Amino acid sequence: MRRVMALFMVICMAVLLCSCSKFSIGRKAAAADKEAGKVTDSTENGNADEGNIAGEDARAAAEKWLSGTKYVCVSERGLASNDPFENRFYINLCEDGTASYYQPLYSSYRPFSTWRTEDGRLVLDDGCMDIVNYFDIVDGNLVYRAEESHGFMFYHFEDGEVFMKDVASVALGTVHDEIMEPFETELTGIYGSNFLIPIDGKIYRYIQFGDAGEEYEKGELLYTFDINDGVIKEKYKVYRIAGAEDDTTLYVECSAENVEPGRYDFILRYRGSRAAKDGDLERVKADGFVVMEDLHVTSGAEIWDEFYKKVEQGTPGSVRIANYYVYDEPQYPTEESEIEKIDYPMLYLKELIYDGKQFITRPLHLSGNDYISYCIEGDESPEQTWKYLMYYSLEAPRTTSKWTTCERYVLVNDDTLTWDKIEWGMFSSRFGDYIAHDSIYAEYEWK
C-alpha cells in the first residue's frame, strides 16, 4: 500500500509540476482566494487583537499572529487511536505560508499544504488533493468548521472542535509520567508507528510526538538508520535532548534529497506498555463497571439496563463502561505483531453521563485507587457530547457469522440514522462519508 500511495503521489506531483520530496509539505501559495462563510459573533467587530481577528484590514495582523505556530487538537478525537498516550493531531503553520499536519507513519501521503486568512478565518489548503479546511480564530485558538471543510485523512473532527496554540501547553497530561522500561526484542528502527531505539544496550519504544521546535537542542547521538524501499530514501539520526534529565524525549534529525536541513526534524516520546495490570479487570467488575470482554458482556448487564430505563424516562443518570481485549495471535506473525503484544491485554474505561437533555462521555484512567479523567494541561478533561442514544436490533448479515443477533446502543447527533448508514460510513474511503458516533454498548447472541 505504501508503494502504491508513493507512486500515486509521484504522478500527482508530476502533473502539478511540484518538485517536492516525500517530506515536502509546502508549495507556492494559491493565487485565488476561495469564498469564506460567516465569521463567528466574537469576531464580527473586526478588531485585530491577537485573540479575535476579523476583517480584511486585520489580515496582516492575523497572519503575523498565526505565522510560525503549532496548534493541537485537545479533544479525544485528536488522538491517533483510542489510546490517550498516542500521538495527538497537530497543525503547523510555517512562516513561509506553507503548512503541515500530523499523518500516521503508516501513511505514505504527505499533504502539500498552504495556509492563509480570509475574513478572520484560517484556510488550510491541500492543493495537490484539492482539500480545503476552515477554522475560526477565537481567543487565540482555532475552531474547526466541519460543515464547510473537506476533512482530514484518518481523522474525523466535528464542527466546533478546538485546536489550542503551542503543543507544549497541551502535552499528554498528568498520566504520562512513568518509569522507562526496556522492550524485550532484537528489533530496531521503525515498525508501523513505533520507533525502537537502542540506548545503553537496551531497546526502548517511542512514538512520534511532533515537529522539533527551537526549544529542543540536539545532544548525544544515539542511533542512525536508513529507509530505502526503492521509491523513498530517508536517513534518520536519533539524539538525546541536550540538558534533559532522562530519555523520555528524543530528537530525530531527518534528511532526504532536496530537503532543507532541519525542516522535518521531529521529536520522539517514550511509550511504554499500555497493557492492563494483573487484577485490573477484576477491580473494575467489583467497582460496578459494565464490562465487555472481546465483545462478550461479562459483568454489569443489569446495570446497563437500569441506566437505559432512566434515559427512556428522561431521568439523569450515569454508567461506567470497560472494554477489555486480549491479543489475537495472527496466523502469520510479523515483526509488527511482535511489537503489538506489549500493549495487551487492553482495558479501555469510559464514563457515560445523561443529564436529562444530552449525553456526555469521558475517558477514565485507573490510577492507584482512583478513576480519573484524562487531564489535558491547561484545559478541562476531554469530553464528547451527543444528542441521542440510539438502540438497534440487528441480525447477523451472513450464516457464517459467529453471532446471530445483536442489541447495539450508539451515541449520535442525528436520530434518523440507521446502523447500515453508520456502518457504511465507517468503511467508506470517501471524504465526508464517515458519520460521528460512539458504539457505547453491544450485547451479542453468540452461536
| pLDDT tens column, 245-279 | 889 999 999 888 777 888 788 899 888 888 898 99
Residues 293 and 424 in one domain: yes
pLDDT digits over 146-187, tens only?
888 988 876 778 888 888 765 333 333 333 345 789 988 889
The whole-angstrom separation of Cα 234 and Cα 256 is 5
Residues 44 and 21 in one domain: yes
What strands lie across the sheet with 141-144, from one edge to the other?
99-101, 90-93, 69-73, 162-165, 141-144, 131-138, 121-126, 113-118
Q: Does residue 350 belong to any structural domain of this protein?
A: yes
pLDDT at 7: 38
Q: Does residue 275 belong to any structural domain of this protein?
A: no
Mean pLDDT of 61-79: 61
Residues 133 and 159 in one domain: yes
The whole-angstrom separation of Cα 436 and Cα 438 is 7
Residues 231 and 362 in one domain: no
Q: Does residue 54 belong to any structural domain of this protein?
A: yes
Q: Does residue 337 belong to any structural domain of this protein?
A: yes
Residues 260 and 291 in one domain: no
The whole-angstrom separation of Cα 207 and Cα 197 is 10
Task: Mark which of 170, 201, 226 sits at the end of a domain.
Answer: 170
pLDDT at 230: 72
Q: Does residue 320 belong to any structural domain of this protein?
A: yes
> Which range marks the domain in which residue 203 is found?
179-270
Q: Which three cell numbers stand for residue 296?
A: 462478550
Strand boundaries in 44-105, DSSP class E: 69-73, 90-93, 99-101
Using CA atoms, how far residue 334 sits from 107, 216, 220, in Å, is 19, 35, 32
pLDDT at 395: 93
Mean residue pLDDT of the chain comes to: 76
Q: Which amino acid is at 82?
A: N
Task: Mark which of 170, 192, 214 sits at the end of a domain.
Answer: 170
Is it the case that residue 104 has pLDDT exceeding 80?
Answer: no
Is it the case that residue 128 has pLDDT exceeding 80?
Answer: no
Residues 311 and 409 in one domain: yes
Mean pLDDT of 123-140: 80
Residues 245 and 344 in one domain: no
The model's pTM is: 0.60
Residues 183 and 166 in one domain: no
pLDDT at 36: 30
What strands lie across the sheet with 194-199, from one edge to the other?
189-191, 194-199, 202-211, 266-270, 249-255, 233-241, 218-228
Give me the half-sphere count of Cα atoms (radius 13 Å) on the Cβ side of residue 255: 9
Is it the case that residue 6 has pLDDT exceeding 60?
Answer: no
pLDDT at 127: 64
DSSP state of 66: H
Pairwise pLDDT comparison (207 vs 224), residue with the higher score: 224
Q: Does residue 115 belong to any structural domain of this protein?
A: yes
Is it the case that residue 296 has pLDDT exceeding 80?
Answer: yes
Residue 336's pLDDT band (cuts 50, 70, 90): confident
pLDDT at 55: 43
Residues 310 and 432 in one domain: yes
Q: How many domains does the chain have?
A: 3
pLDDT at 165: 67
pLDDT at 67: 62
Residues 288 and 200 in one domain: no
Residues 148 and 234 in one domain: no
Which residues, at least 6 apart from 179, have a Cβ–Cβ distance to it below 8 Å? none
- Tell me if residue 224 falls in helix, strand or coil: strand
Residues 287 and 257 in one domain: no
Mean pLDDT of 393-411: 92
Task: Mark which of 236, 270, 304 sits at the end of a domain.
Answer: 270
Q: Does residue 119 belong to any structural domain of this protein?
A: yes
Q: Does residue 137 belong to any structural domain of this protein?
A: yes
The whole-angstrom separation of Cα 60 and Cα 62 is 5
Mean pLDDT of 36-61: 37
